[in-house]
């Protein structure tokens, strides 16, 4: 089972460290969409690096007018 959480700005490092402490092998998935500002994503990825969470997946939503390959 996965855990989905919205983490307040400035709380990413602590949240990652806590989650990794509970389950070091957990997958980290960062979800964004076309409305997500580049700076916000860069800030989150910097926090990932600070928390030593260097392996993660980026997830987006497929456009509804396109079919999967």
Q: In this predicted structure, what is the pLDDT of residue 2? A: 62
Q: In this predicted structure, what is the pLDDT of residue 26? A: 84
- Helical ranges in the chain per DSSP H: 12-22, 38-50
For residues 49 and 2, what is the distance between their CA atoms, to the nearest angstrom?
22
Residue 5 scores a pLDDT above 80: no
Residue 1 scores a pLDDT above 60: no
Residue 4 scores a pLDDT above 90: no
pTM here is 0.69
Counting every residue written for the chain, the total comes to 69
CB neighbour class for 45 (10 Å; exposed up to 12, middle 13-18, buried from 19) = middle
> What's the mean per-residue pLDDT of the chain?
83
For residues 42 and 4, what is the distance between their CA atoms, to the nearest angstrom?
20
């Amino acid at each position: 089972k996965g855990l989905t959480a919205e983490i307040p700005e400035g709380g990413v490092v602590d949240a990652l460290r806590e989650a990794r402490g509970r389950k070091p092998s957990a997958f980290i998935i960062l979800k964004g969409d076309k409305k997500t500002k580049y700076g916000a994503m860069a800030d989150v990825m910097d926090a990932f690096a600070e928390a030593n969470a260097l392996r993660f997946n980026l997830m987006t939503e497929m456009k509804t007018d396109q079919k999967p390959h």
